[in-house]
Amino acid sequence: MELYYMTAHRLHEMLVKKEITAEEITRAVFGRIDAVEDKIRAYVTLTRELAEQKAREVDKAIADGETIPPLAGIPVAIKDNMCTKGVRTTCSSKILYNFVPPYDATVIKRLRENSVVMTGKTNLDEFAMGSSTENSAFFPTCNPWDTSRVPGGSSGGSAAAVAAGETILALGSDTGGSIRQPAAYCGVVGLKPTYGAVSRYGLVAFASSLDQIGPLARDVTDCALLCNIICGHDPMDSTSVPYDKPDYTSFLTGDVKGMRIGVPREYMGEGVEPAVREVIREAVKVFAGMGAEVEETSLPHSEYALPAYYLIAPAEASSNLARYDGVRYGHRAENPADVVDMFMKTRSEGFGPEVKRRIMLGTYALSAGYYDAYYNKALKARTLIKGDFDRAFEKYDLLLSPVAPGTAFKRGEKMDDPLQMYMVDICTFSINMAGIPAISIPAGFVDNLPVGLQLMGKPFGEGDILRAAYAFEQNTGFMNVPDLHHQRMSPK
């Protein structure tokens, strides 16, 4: 297998044994980028020189006999809504096209401390608002399995880069499914950690009570290795939770015997394509065959997830995006008549249609006379949804469902119907509102397109999720999905 399609843990073994160098890995990844990026368009900014410099530093450390961290010298792509000191951070928006942060987000700082090789900043739906990476102000990203289809969103650039071999690992952010859904569409592993498990300091805010940074990876082991770096308390983030962070790789035992898994009927019913349901049913059989106890359960308030989410998230977005006024940083309109005109023109020119739509929705929901009718009711629905999960986890260790109701759809297919676009995240919204962790792992194919399996866990139950995901991966052969992609469906 080519270096750019190998797992991080395999590359680490080869580095330690001096079978390869970090420079060779980096050159292989950038060679792959040169070969396919014009078809995939995963990156907004490439950091080739910085990557090569870091690779040389890692090679010197190995030559000097130093013990390197598990991900030292491994290429990692960063979603372009995380601040990177000295490297442009655009959120795929015209309003931030020229913004260069003066500091690193905490997750970036931790990656640098572990000597990873940053390949660049990946494309996303503008300000992470979207499900297809078609809402980028710059260009859409394509799905490596079929370049006429979307890679999912909003972390579509990160997922596509991993799937296409344009990086080994990536970071994404997840506000309503934005790591898990593109991971499912692109046939890679994507984890949304518990709210508060990963610092949000330096993550450009969309909806502050929902946003969470997480890993996208080749396999579950790589996912656990990246969690070991990015998870943990950060005093710079007031929502970061102090907790005893485990070594997540210690959960990768392959044993799920006696695990209790619930399958919410609301996530397997109307709206989910029959072929996708069948893939998930086969996954249930795999878990049962491994000794897990699997049965149907119910999350009765799931029907309120979509309307509640699309009141809460836009309301928070309306507040968070008020800072983009043309005064302090980013785009500023030219020749305004006065300050008010500058505000209006700057925001009109700088924000795209989907961002404007959500700002207006959120501002309306928070306005006098409508706050109680809409926003306050949505918060009450959120409490009911979280209560469903709390009760379910009194009985079950994990919950299991599809990640998305279908496979990757054609570019342009849903752009003219926002509600239809919002529905593709119907299986993922609730997890963010409950603040719990969830993972997407490859579970099969429908018409040669990947299907993602979602495993949901208790707060700070990432270990149980990784344990079950690893066991499934090892017992199905889906740890080889990138290789299958390389053999059968190389980008064209």
3-class secondary structure, 449: strand
CA nearest to 374, candidates 392, 390, 386, 362: 362
DSSP class per residue in 87-142: B---TT-GGGTT---SS--HHHHHHHHTT-EEEEEE--SGGG--SSS---SS----
Reading the block at residue 204, the tokens are 């450009």
CB of 204 closer than 8 Å to CB of 447 = no
Gap between the Cα atoms of 278 and 462, Å rounded:
26
Q: Is 151 helix (H, G, I), strand (E, B) or coil?
A: coil
Q: What φ, ψ does residue 452 adopt, rounded to 5°? A: -100, 140
Of 411, 410, 389, 408, nearest to 450 (Cα)?
408
Distance CA 373, CA 76 (A): 44
Q: Is 177 left (phi over 0), alpha (psi -120 to 50) or beta?
A: left
Pairwise CA distance, residues 122 & 238, whole Å: 27
Catalytic residues: 79, 154, 178
Instruction: For residues 295 and 106, give the distance between their C-alpha atoms in angstroms, rounded to a whole number.
Output: 40
Q: How far apart are CA 492 and CA 485, in angstroms?
A: 12
Euclidean distance between CA atoms 145 and 242, whole angstroms:
40
Burial of 333 (0-12, 13-18, 19+ CB in 10 A): middle
Region class of 130: left (phi > 0), else alpha (psi between -120 and 50), else beta: left
E strands of 367-422, at which residues? 398-402
The residue assigned the tokens 């306050």 is 376
Q: Which two tokens stand for residue 332?
A: 């500023």
Q: Whole-angstrom Cα distance, residue 135 to residue 57?
A: 37
Q: State both tokens at 403.
A: 């990640």
Count Cα neighbours of 11 within 13 Å in the Cβ-side half-sphere. 33
Q: Which amino acid is at 32?
A: R
Virtual torsion, Cα 395, 465, 206, 125, nearest 10 deg: -130
Bridge partners, 144 (sequence order): none
